Amino acid sequence: MTSIPEDQQKNYEIFRDCLSTALIEKISQPQSKPKRKPRSKRHSTASQTRIRNGNATKAPDVDVDVDAEAEAEAEAETDSDLSNADSLADFADYIAAETFRALPAELKTLDYHSYVKDADLQSRYALPFTGFDTPQLLPSLDPSVADSLSAYAITREPTQGVDEFLAPILTSYLTALSTPPPAPRATLREAEGCELCGRDWINLSYHHLIPRFVHAKAVRRGWHREEDLQNVAWLCGACHRFVHRFAGHEELARKYYTVELLMEEEGVKRWVDWVGRLRWKGR
């Protein structure tokens, strides 16, 4: 595989992070595949939440069974290869490299400072991208990318094709490049890597352990003190999305307001164990 030029390496890593986050989400949500008979995982998640609220000690067992079953089913129906972290890392690296290479040159080295200064460029790449933009952004994309994605049932032509799959990834890539570092860098100094999975080369974003959405309520009800509202955890994109799928705002605020509390849950431990093994070659 041709390597990515040095001056594009930083952008490539951001792109691969966006892409692998989307891949991980597809793979961990088997119900998004329309071919499958409608077995609603959303529904089971909701009922687990109810159980968790009712009996905090028993819930993780219920979680394990439901998820293990769902995973086994997903493996049986699709090519099971991608459930293996090494294969998934290889696959993500390959798709990311092929796709990144097909991007317009100016997007391969773009950084925040040149983006904000360049109004032309901003209007040329108006966000968010849709499936219609993808062929224009990636005119020379190797057809093997579409083939591979569909072989692993990540995409399903013609409704959920490669263009629709890649559009939100291209959007989050350009969004990442056009967004200034959001939090005081001071809080990042303690985080060597993602505070859940420990991966340390990956882009981190901060998660409000007490989600902002419920700040007012949390203080009013006496769940938390005002000064604790800004506690954050630095998480990779995949773990951040996982945490928000795992529990709603209020549940996060009341039960999972520290990394330690999150890590006590079996479901979180299993996730961290799995995603933490997803490492790129040569690191």
Chain residues 199-218 in contact with Zn ion, contact rule CB under 5 A: 207
Report if residue 262 touches Zn ion, rule: CB under 5 A: no
- Which lies closer to Zn ion via its Cβ, residue 39 or residue 244? 244
Q: Is 194 in the site for Zn ion (CB under 5 A)?
A: yes
Residue 236 engages Zn ion in binding (rule: CB under 5 A)? yes
Considering only 196, 204, 262, 278, the residue that binds Zn ion (CB under 5 A) is 196
What is the residue type of 97?
A
* Binds Zn ion by CB under 5 A, chosen from 18, 239, 247, 268: 239
What's the rounded Cα separation, in Å, for the pair 249 and 241? 13
194 touches 203 (CB < 8 A): no
Name the residue among 244, 182, 178 with its Cα closest to residue 213: 244
In whole angstroms, what is the distance from residue 155 CA to residue 80 CA?
15
123-to-130, 171, 174 alpha-carbon distances in Å: 15, 14, 12
Chain centroid to Cα 107, Å, comes to 21
Regarding 97 and contact with Zn ion (CB under 5 A), the answer is: no
Nearer to Zn ion (CB atom), residue 59 or residue 235: 235
Instruction: Confirm or reject binding of residue 4 to Zn ion (CB under 5 A).
Output: no
- Pick the closer one to Zn ion by CB: 125 or 206: 206
Q: Is 154 in the site for Zn ion (CB under 5 A)?
A: no
Cβ neighbours of residue 252 under 8 Å, at least 6 residues apart? 209, 210, 211, 243, 244
Q: What is the smallest separation between the CB atom of 283 and Zn ion, expressed in angstroms? A: 15
Q: Which residues bind Zn ion (CB under 5 A)?
A: 194, 196-197, 207, 236, 239
